[in-house]
């Protein structure tokens, strides 16, 4: 009984011959894409927001509450993620802290990797 199988976008196409009868089946199969994670961590005394392209990260940095929102996000392996930091009123964006795991502000995701990125917002004088 020869069986051939091919995957495409979450489905598996199975071609088989059983007792001289050809069968074709399209079966849903789970997608287990390899991912890496970006985690935004707080830096400085000011406030602001970090977003990503493609969408996923939407993290608000607040000196009193710390990071809130979508601050830890998994992206599919190979995705190029660009981070954007915008200071809130009364604050200024100073830059990205030199955290070794974050090749800021642009990251090509590797499977199983965690990138900790630290935007630094300070209080505007």
If asked whether residues 46 and 94 sit together in one domain, one would say: yes
If asked whether residues 82 and 40 sit together in one domain, one would say: yes
Q: What is the pTM of this model?
A: 0.72
pLDDT in tens, 19-42: 666 555 555 555 567 899 999 998
Domain limits at 82?
35-123
The pLDDT confidence band at residue 64, using thresholds 50, 70 and 90, is: confident
Separation of CA 103 from chain center: 14
pLDDT in tens, 86-114: 999 999 999 998 876 887 778 999 999 99
31: closest CA among 10, 14, 12?
10
Number of domains in the chain: 2
Sheet holding 72-76, edge to edge: 72-76, 35-40, 114-117
């Amino acid at each position: 009984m020869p069986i051939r199988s091919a995957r495409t976008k979450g489905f598996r196409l199975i071609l088989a011959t059983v007792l001289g009868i050809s069968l074709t089946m399209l079966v849903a199969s789970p997608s287990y894409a390899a991912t890496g994670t970006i985690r935004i961590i707080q830096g400085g005394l000011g406030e602001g927001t970090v977003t990503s392209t493609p969408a996923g990260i939407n993290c608000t940095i607040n000196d009193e509450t710390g990071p809130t929102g979508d601050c830890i996000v998994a992206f599919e392996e190979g995705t190029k993620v660009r981070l954007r930091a915008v200071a809130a009123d009364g604050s200024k964006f100073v830059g990205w802290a030199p955290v070794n795991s974050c090749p800021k502000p642009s990251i090509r995701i590797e499977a199983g990797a965690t990138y900790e990125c630290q935007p630094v917002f300070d209080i505007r004088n």
